[in-house]
Structure 1
Amino acid sequence: MSPERRREIALKGVEAKKERANLPKAICGSDDRKLQFGDIEIQCYVLEDETRVLSLRSLQSGIGMSEGGGKGGARKIPALMARLANKGMEINGLDVRANTPIRFVTPSNTIADGYDARMLPDICAVLIDADRKNI
């Protein structure tokens, strides 16, 4: 490996370390302790400021979506909310809220994205209403 490539890798490592140091830390939560709703499991964490955060991937799978990103890396929940809004559904600002995930460090020291847990009942209400209206 060339010295330039080693330097590039080292600089990326320094940048990642800085990013991690500035992110909120989860003080509670783990992969093996999930919120259980019947047979649905969603990872939940508590941040230092006591914000409850639901893992983006497990929230997506919990509402029946695949866990990966959408077209071109777009997040699936904001895309779903935008589609529902375009069909006349009242989405209560979920499109904006879903476009601002919380990036944080888990207790296992990995960087994760999530949503404020207070979004879950709002997402469920919109999905239930859309189902009732056959949208």
Structure 2
Amino acid sequence: MTIVGDLDGVGGERTDDLLAFLSDPGSVPRVCLIDDADRIELDPLQVPAGVHLVVAAKADHLEYGHWLRRMVADAEGLALRPDHRDEDLWRVRLAPSRVPGRGMLIARGEPIPIQVASGTMAAPLKEDTDHARSNRNRRHAT
């Protein structure tokens, strides 16, 4: 694995560095992971053939016209705890979820429910435990 570096504060000049690295035939990775991709400007058409981008961004941080919005139309992705902004981004109807790790995998334009595991135990949200307690009490009352 080759680490390009921390992309914090990436501006046009750092994006050029990233593209230069990806274009070097001796160092072309097959997969390039970009976290907080909404914070950089990149033209996906400049990414060399054979390089696959895996990006993470918050839907509410993407502006209309951002390069990720143009890329998403043909992409597959994962929307964790989706809301209306994710529906707008992916152009599909998504079942909302407030449970950590639950989401929708968008594959070939079709949403598929998914549960993503974590190495750390996530505490349930208060409204989820209240709902479960209410259902349990209702069952015992009948």
Q: Normalization by structure 1: what TM-score?
A: 0.22
- Relative contact order (C-alpha < 8 Å, sep 6+): which is higher? 1
Q: Normalization by structure 2: what TM-score?
A: 0.22
Normalized per residue, the structure richer in helix is 1
Normalized per residue, the structure richer in strand is 1
Larger radius of gyration: 2
